[in-house]
Structures are given as C-alpha cells and as structure tokens.
Amino acid sequence: MLNRPKEFWDMRAPTYDHTSGDIYAHAYDLTVERSLSYLKPSGRVLEFACGTGLTTLRLAPHAAYILGIDISPNMADIAREKARDIPNVEITNTDLFDPCLELESFDTVTAFNVLLYLPDLPAVLARIRELLRPGGMFLSATDCLGARPSVMGLKKLVKSRTGKMPYVAFFTQRRLERKITQSGFAVLERENLFPNPPNLFIAARRV
C-alpha cells in the first residue's frame, strides 16, 4: 500500500523527471515564467514540496535565497544533487510544519503541483500565510481535477481509493481560488496552464 505520502513520493522520485516532468514540461515552463515577475533579487523564497527541483533551480537566479523542502528524502536527495553548485539554494527533507521554519521569514512561498494532495488544505494555507512576511507572495500551480472529467483524474481517483497513492482532492478552479482567498490572501493573477485537467496558476498576496 502506498497511501502514505512519504513512501509514495519516495517511490516516484527516481522516475519523476521523466514522467510528470515530461508530461507537464510546458506547464512547468509557464509556471516559472509567471512566477518570475513576483520574485525580487533580494528575496527569500520557500519552495514547499520542491520535489526533484524542477522549478527550484530555474527560480534561483532571481532570488537571494531559496529553501526547497520536501517530505520525501529521495526527492530531496535528487534536488540537492542538482543544486550542489548553486550557492543560494538549500534543499532539506523538512515538513512544512517543522518549527525550524521561522514565522514571517519569507518574501515568497511557492507550492507547485502539491495542493491537491493535501487532506487539510486550510491548515496548510494558514501555515504558509504565517511563514510569509506581511505583503508576501504565495505562488501555486495546481491540477483542478473537479473541473471536468479527465483520464488523469480518473486514474488518480481509482489509485487513491484503492490505496495505491495518497489522498487526492477534486476541487474546481473556482473552489481552489475561494479556499486561498478565505485563508487571508488577495489573488492578483490566475491562469490555466494545462488543457485537461486544468493546472491553475495563482499568485496571491498575504493580506
């Protein structure tokens, strides 16, 4: 059974770049492109669920410091190896709720392709908000599997119900945006980056 997140993502780590990374290559390009306008050269960035570092390394030249965290040791190891020669990037096998993360210590928090796997999204959004400095930016890109039927959505539904992968949410784009605004953020930009299932990019400021 792979319904425990750490074990599931540890298993996915070795092939992630050649499966999800390839499928979503253009969406990753667009995610980085949209994110850059919200970063600043002096900024501190937390990348929640950094995975294998597909976006981390591309954002690094545009910030003073990026801390990439992931609950999967295997994912973090791969990202750490990629970032070995990049001085302003640190990768750790850390949970978002670890007390080592200081409150109001980041200018930007990113969460790419992870929000749909979180059973308690309001708690995660609240934690992200408290890690951001006042006026800080939250950037996310998330599959919205409840928007309309898709082959990928159906596969994830079956796998999550049979214990072959962890929890998967099936929210719509509107519902996801509402959850973010209800958590103390003002949405500044939204864009769908993938045809089906929709992959919604949201840039939101802490209020």
Tell me the per-residue pLDDT of 22-74, one tens digit each, with 9 for 90 and over. Answer: 778 899 999 999 999 999 999 999 999 999 999 999 999 999 999 999 999 99
pLDDT at res. 191: 96
E strands, the chain, in order = 44-48, 65-69, 89-92, 106-112, 132-143, 185-192, 199-206
Low-confidence ranges of the chain (pLDDT < 50): 1
Domains and CATH numbers, the chain: 5-206 (3.40.50.150)
CA 133 to chain centre: 19
Q: What is the pLDDT of residue 201?
A: 98
Tell me, yes or no, if the pTM score tops 0.85.
yes
Q: In this predicted structure, what is the pLDDT of residue 2?
A: 56
